[in-house]
Each structure stands twice: as structure tokens, then as C-alpha cells.
Amino acid sequence: MINLKLKAKELKKEILALYFAYRDPELNLLPKLIIIFTVAYALSPIDLIPDFIPVLGYLDDLIILPLLISLSLKLIPAEIMESSRAKAENNYQRLKPNKIVGAVFIFIWILIMIVIIKALINLFI
């Protein structure tokens, strides 16, 4: 249980470090786009795969979010990430969930459901 709490705390610091990296003026556009999506997804009150769906509901927390974080980290130069981690360690801020981001993820979820339903209708008709 303690290990899980430690991992969660580390994850929060890494998200905050990504936020500081995003704000670095030397960072290119592609990493910024990936980072903003990652941070927004992490802070979104709505998951892309709702938690009430058995097994699949926790896949986003266990697989998708770590993959997004890993991708973001690979795109950020080491010196920017190092300074961002130092800022995250020294200037702890609480990043709050954003209702607008939640609405965007609801919209994405609805679009995915529409595409799936249309594909199923075309498959069976």
C-alpha cells in the first residue's frame, strides 16, 4: 500500500514537471501538443474509458496514461526535463481538474461511440 502511494506521488510530480516543460519557450510544437494532451488527460475528470467498464475501465489509468507520459518524456530534451523536474520539486503546485477538458473528453468519447455504432450498423446491414 505504501509503495502504491509513493508511485502516485511520483506520478503527480511527473505530471507537474511535464506542465513546467510545456511552459518552456525552447520546447518545440510537437512535444508541447503531446504534453498538453497528456496533462489534460491526466487532469480530466472524465476518463476516455469509463472506470465502471470491468477491466477495460482501469486500462487507461494503468496503460494509456503511462504511455502518454513516456511519449512526452521521450520528446523533451534532457536539460529541459531536468530543470522542469527541479521546478516541480521546489515549487509544488496543485494542478486542478478542468471542466472544459472534461467536456472535450466527453465529446471525444461520444464521437468514438458514434463511429463504433455506425461501423456496427454497416457491418450488419
Q: Which pLDDT value is given to residue 2?
A: 60
pLDDT value of residue 80 = 95
Residue 78, pLDDT above cutoff 70: yes
Indicate the SS3 state at residue 9.
helix
Model pTM?
0.67
Half-sphere exposure of 68 (CA within 13 A, CB side): 23
Of 42, 35, 34, nearest to 12 by C-alpha is: 42
Candidates 8, 13, 78, 9; CA nearest to 39 is 13
Share of residues in the chain with pLDDT > 90 (%): 27
Write down the pLDDT at residue 77. Answer: 95
| Pair 42, 65: CB distance under 8 Å | yes
pLDDT tens figures, 30-44: 999 999 888 887 877
Rounded to an integer, the average pLDDT of 90-97 is: 67
